[in-house]
Structure 1
Amino acid sequence: MKELLKEIWLGQIKEETEEKEIIRKYGREKIKEAEIKGFIRVRDEKVELTEKGRNRIKVVLAGGVFDILHPGHVFFLSKAGELGDILVVVVARDSTVRNRKRIPIVPSKQRVELVKALKPVDLAFIGRSENIFDILEEIQPDIVALGPNQYHVEKEIEMEGERRGMKLKAVRIKEFKACELSSTRAILQRIIDRNFPLTRQKQEEK
């Protein structure tokens, strides 16, 4: 039943909840059972979760730049996914990254495609606003997952959610993946260290 409810919730966010598609995948009996239990309603050939149905699933929201994906990113998203039933990831817009005095290496359209391909991720999209709290209102998550180095304060997120009529919990994932190249900065430094000397050597040989 939970898989059905997850599918419908994701479909609502994507605006893809055609009754015939849900029936084709799960069968009429499953849909009828969910309707009788008050988890879903069918309107104008669209399937929607009721409040009761929405309360049966836990949605986790995570965000980040995800510039040059590495094992640390995958570890963080895996841990975030373990906190609930659905993991939604917001990938920072290029303009947002620049406003934080960084220049993204990989464009946001490519970064979001890579994040979408990761196994723990159910849904990923590019941030639509400079204000992270606008995303909270759109997704209405139960949990906001924060990485060990993300600057947001848990209590501030919870208070802002409450101010906007949401009851959510912010969770800091303090663990991190220990590996040789566990940050974008380390990867870039390795590229510089290993390639620039070779470039200079080739120029000297000409």
Structure 2
Amino acid sequence: MARKTGSHAEITGPRIRAAALRLFAAEGFAAVSMRRIAAEVGVQAGALYLYTPDKQSLLFELMKEHLDAVWEAWQAEDEGGDPVARLERFARFHIRFHLERPEAVFIAYMELRNLEPENFAVIEGLRGRYETALEDILKDGRETGAFDIPDTKLAAMAIIAMLTGVTTWYREGGRLGRADVAEIYAGMALGAVRGRTGA
């Protein structure tokens, strides 16, 4: 099929992904057809297949793009050093990064069930990479005595779930700004792992 005049991969491809992101987040992956995505972009349904093999591939690409982005951003943010400071930094980073991408966050967590097994395995690996980065911080804190944690993996999962939950309720213009929310949640993350003595 010939590509329409004025339709360029560097323009249409991102527009397709952006439209799919909005629609999957608003209506759910299963409810959105390729024809619906094409209508949103303003192209013929057949034109989508110039940019993606199928809807499953589109979902996988969106998830992978998000998880690669969060990993790269955290790698640039993490300065190492004291585990207490790193945990605070991680909490603030996670909230700041994810509040800017609520649709991508929703899809990355809620649409895992719609991934085919091979794609699921890749996405789980990318999620695990980020979760392990937090667990390593918690392990360091436990080894130095800064944190009192019986199970670092469980604690990492609980902290990420708490931090990610902000994207479901936060609204711009509310009582607290993003920086305020990040500060409070960083304190709660520390409180969850420091034990009763506040070591």
* TM-score where L is the length of structure 2: 0.33
**Richer in helix (by share):** 2
Structure with greater contact order relative to length (CA < 8 Å, sep ≥ 6): 2
